Amino acid sequence: MKVSVRSKSDGRKEILDAAAVAFMEYGFAGTSIDMVAEVLGSTKGKIYYHFKSKTSLFLDVHRETMTTYIEAVEEVAKGPGTPLDKLSGILTTLATQVMERLPYAKVAVEGVDMHMSRSTTPEQRAVLREIIDLRDRGEAILVRIIEDGIEQGLLRPCNPRLIVKPMLGALNWMTVWYRPRPQDTPESRKALADTLVNYLLNGIVAPADGRASA
């Protein structure tokens, strides 16, 4: 058991953070390992000591993101409340995650498209499977909650699988236009998340009666 001021996992975490920042800015193909090293304030050597290849590094960043997502989603899903409450909670959590961990979120967005095409080694394909499974698990949870909501008459009848796509898409699209500002606070982020989630749940068409949305 090693007890040093800097454990191995610390080094890995730092590299993941730096990689996320670099990948966010220039994308996977457009980022060189040297650029990651520069963000890290280090050299390639350190990175290749901890990661086998550029692809592995990218996949690990992606997996890290998805793991964080699924944990947040499952926590809300297992909690109390109506399906509508849970749906709202999950979407709000995800929106907040995107804002607070923008580099990781962007990597996840780019990584989704990278499925296939690349990734040669069996080990990388295993990580890829893991990532895809995490994503599918998250989507399945949402679909299930929506089905419950429809059954209970809380939600409009629809094809949940088709609705989940634009729902998550709208949140993921935040990575394109949202830019953190110095004056941002947890409260202001919460407000933005609420605005978006409220729209995603209630739409924009005015109700026929005078009922106001929550």
Binding site for DNA (CB under 7 A): 2-8, 11, 31-34, 42-46, 48-50, 52-55
User: Could you say which of DNA, a copy of itself, none residue 82 binds, taking C-beta under 5 to 8 angstroms by partner kind?
Assistant: none
Task: Name the residue nearer to a copy of itself (CB basis): 46 or 144.
Answer: 144
Task: Name the residue nearer to DNA (CB basis): 46 or 137.
Answer: 46
Q: How many other β-carbons are positioned within 10 Å of the β-carbon of residue 184?
A: 14
CA gap 41, 30 in Å, rounded: 19
Binding site for a copy of itself (CB under 8 A): 25-30, 84, 112-113, 117, 146, 153-156, 158-159, 162-163, 165-174, 176-177, 192, 195-196, 199-209, 211, 213
CB of 56 to DNA, least distance (A): 8
CB of 206 to a copy of itself, least distance (A): 5
User: Could you say which of DNA, a copy of itself, none residue 6 binds, taking C-beta under 5 to 8 angstroms by partner kind?
Assistant: DNA
CB of 101 to DNA, least distance (A): 23
User: Could you say which of a copy of itself, DNA, none residue 170 binds, taking C-beta under 5 to 8 angstroms by partner kind?
Assistant: a copy of itself
CA gap 197, 28 in Å, rounded: 30
47-56 long-range CB contacts below 8 Å, 24 or more apart? Answer: 47/15, 47/19, 50/8, 50/11, 50/12, 50/15, 51/15, 52/123, 53/124, 54/28, 55/118, 55/119, 55/120, 55/124, 56/123, 56/124, 56/127
CB of 49 to a copy of itself, least distance (A): 26
User: Could you say which of DNA, a copy of itself, none residue 99 binds, taking C-beta under 5 to 8 angstroms by partner kind?
Assistant: none
User: Could you say which of a copy of itself, DNA, none residue 8 binds, taking C-beta under 5 to 8 angstroms by partner kind?
Assistant: DNA
Helix (H, G, I), strand (E, B) or coil at 192: helix
Handedness of CA 52, 60, 134, 131 (dihedral sign): negative
CB of 119 to a copy of itself, least distance (A): 13
- Residue 25 contacts residue 31 (beta carbons within 8 Å): yes
CA gap 196, 174 in Å, rounded: 10
Which letter does DSSP use for residue 117 in this model? Answer: T
